[in-house]
């Protein structure tokens, strides 16, 4: 069978085969999902993307090894903190990592993780960069996007070369939020905000209780209400 015929057969089989679907009790690995039309469904999961800001300029304007070190230290911090918060890392895409949170406290767990990433980037990773590259003016900037909702995971690719793909609006929107203004490192949808505990909505400043969040209208997506924050939690 030629290559074109092989692709045609795969497309025909995929479109004509009935899907099997089961509820997810834990975040699956690739081997837990069949390569055919098999899907694992989560009625609600919280998706987090943590993304370096302006990575193209970083690569273009600095030595390759400097860019590689920034990538590595940022992704290491985000991954360790995500795992510590109960999230499951499900993929890397260049300068960003995707994490899935499930369970009753998923939005609050993911949000605390995002705030801790902000602290780690600004107060640990950046400090070590400046200690070694003392003459560098480079500042690491990042964004974390969070959304929550119905999502399914399916296994995609060819036999021997495949991985899980997460299909759902919350996965797409969490990724898109990371393209917003990195002056606010944490961006969440209103769905996430409504599920936050008060200690993730309000903090103390100069002895007064204040909101941690600023409300925005997301012009790139139907003027949805979204929230952004500059706050952090120590690691």
List domains and CATH numbers for the chain.
19-26+36-229 (3.30.70.1230)
Global pTM?
0.94
Tokens linked to 134:
């003392």
Q: Look at the block and give the residue holding tokens 């015929």.
A: 5
Per-residue pLDDT of the chain (235 residues; tens, 9 = 90+): 688 999 899 899 999 999 999 999 999 998 899 999 999 999 999 999 999 999 999 999 999 999 999 999 999 999 999 999 999 999 999 899 999 999 999 999 999 999 999 999 999 999 999 999 999 999 999 999 999 999 999 999 988 888 999 999 999 999 999 999 999 999 999 999 999 999 999 999 989 999 999 999 999 899 999 999 999 999 9
CA-nearest of 95, 43, 87, 27 to 67 is 95
Integer Cα distance of 193 and 213 in angstroms: 9
**Is residue 126 a contact partner of residue 139, using CB atoms and an 8 Å limit?**
yes
């Amino acid at each position: 069978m030629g290559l074109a015929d092989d692709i045609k057969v795969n497309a025909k089989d995929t479109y004509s085969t009935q899907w099997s679907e089961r509820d997810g009790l834990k975040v699956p690995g690739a081997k837990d999902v069949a390569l055919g039309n098999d899907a694992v469904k989560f009625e609600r999961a919280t998706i987090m993307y943590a993304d370096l800001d302006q990575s193209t300029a970083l690569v273009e304007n600095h030595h390759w090894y400097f860019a590689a070190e920034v990538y590595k230290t940022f992704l290491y911090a985000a991954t360790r903190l995500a795992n510590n918060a109960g999230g499951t890392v499900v993929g890397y895409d260049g300068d960003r990592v995707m994490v899935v949170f499930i369970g009753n406290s998923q939005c609050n767990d993911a949000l605390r993780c995002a705030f801790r990433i902000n602290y780690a980037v600004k107060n640990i990773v950046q400090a070590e960069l400046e200690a070694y590259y003392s003459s560098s003016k480079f500042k690491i900037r990042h964004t974390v996007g969070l959304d929550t909702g119905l999502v399914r995971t399916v296994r995609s690719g060819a036999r021997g070369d495949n991985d899980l793909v997460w299909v759902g609006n919350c996965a797409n929107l969490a990724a898109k939020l990371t393209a917003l203004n990195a002056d606010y490192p944490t961006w969440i949808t209103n769905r996430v905000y409504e599920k936050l505990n008060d200690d993730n909505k309000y903090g103390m400043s100069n002895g007064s209780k204040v909101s941690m969040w600023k409300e925005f209208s997301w012009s790139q997506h139907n003027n949805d209400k979204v929230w952004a924050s500059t706050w952090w939690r120590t690691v």
